[in-house]
Amino acid sequence: MIGPVAGSAHRAGDRDVGNAAMPADVHESVARVDSMIRAVCGDRPVSTYVHGSLALGGFNPLRSDIDVLVVVENVPPLDAATLRDLGNQLIAVPSAGRGLELSVVTTTAARQPSVPWPFLLHVTTARDDAKVVIGVGRDGDPDLVMHYTVVRAAGLTVRGEPPTQLVGPLERDIVLRYLADELTWAETHAGETYGVLNAARASCFLHEGVIVSKIEGGRRANAGGGPTGVLRRALDVQEGRADDRPPTEAAVRFIRSIRAQLIGALGK
């Protein structure tokens, strides 16, 4: 079972969503997105959830995306032209943080998450990675493994059913395999901070059964005897006190050690 998660403190100007709070500008961005999606979907049931760092208490407006999962009833099916029009509308809307990262999936896909992880629409609006991807007729998105996991553990309900009533559980081995694959990718395709802090929070899931933010994962790993220099620098970058860099040898050793632990735990 997935245990408790880290929460975010309320601040002046924050607005409540579910049992947590988010900055007012983020709340406005999410409300605008939800309204646009409902306008396109009409009378279809729509459930909208905020997940990622906003839900886990690690949001940094300079480094964090606004992560949103939308679950819609897809009867009758939304066609590709409608989805593309929605994606183009969303990508043109100014967003707080680094931008929006949004996935739209069907209720069927959410209730019984499984390979190939089908989706209807994926939109990112970050300046360095803006895109609209239509999921109809193409391979699924393995990143939904973690989106579903975080939504079930800590998702903030903007509209619709509580996430645990709509999003089905995933087997532990599926999550462990995803986390291991993500660390393999991070070692050669991402900066040091991404790999180190994702390794740290993967360790929290492996050993404690909890879903935490990158920042909380780094702090726990540092307190638990991880490589202090590597972890402190990664936290400095994530919290805006330093610039990122390619992974050093020490960082790679840490990432590989956690990946090996994840692989070793499969089937146990």
pLDDT digits over 24-64, tens only? 888 888 889 999 999 998 888 889 999 999 999 988 888 88
What is the rounded distance in angstroms from the CA atom of residue 219 to the CA atom of residue 231? 8
Rounded to the nearest integer, the mean pLDDT of the chain is 89
pLDDT-derived band of residue 6, with 50, 70 and 90 as boundaries? very low
Which among 261, 262, 252 is positioned nearest to 192, based on CA atoms? 252
pLDDT given at position 126: 84
Q: How far apart are the first and last CA of the chain?
A: 14
Q: Does the domain formed by 15-166 have CATH 3.40.50.1360? A: no
**pTM given for the model:** 0.90
Q: What is the pLDDT of residue 196?
A: 98
12 — pLDDT class (breaks 50, 70, 90): very low
**Are 264 and 208 in contact, with CB atoms under 8 Å apart?**
no
Average pLDDT of the residues in 91-115: 92
Q: How does pLDDT run across 151-166, given as a tens digit for each residue?
A: 999 999 999 999 999 9
Q: Distance between CA atoms of 184 and 64, rounded to whole angstroms?
A: 22
- For the cut 80, the answer to whether the pLDDT of residue 5 exceeds it is no
Model confidence at 11: pLDDT above 60: no
Instruction: Tell me what pLDDT residue 21 has.
Output: 63
Q: What is the pLDDT of residue 97?
A: 83
Q: Is the pLDDT reported for residue 94 higher than 70?
A: yes
Could you tell me the residue ranges of all domains in the chain?
Answer: 15-166, 172-265
Is the Cβ–Cβ distance between 98 and 65 less than 8 Å?
yes
Structure tokens, 16: 């409540």
Instruction: Specify the length of the chain in residues.
Output: 268
Per-residue pLDDT tens for 168-207?
Answer: 999 999 999 999 999 999 999 999 999 999 999 999 999 9
Contacts with 12 (C-beta within 8 Å, 6 or more apart), sequence order: none
- Give the pLDDT mean for 240-244: 94
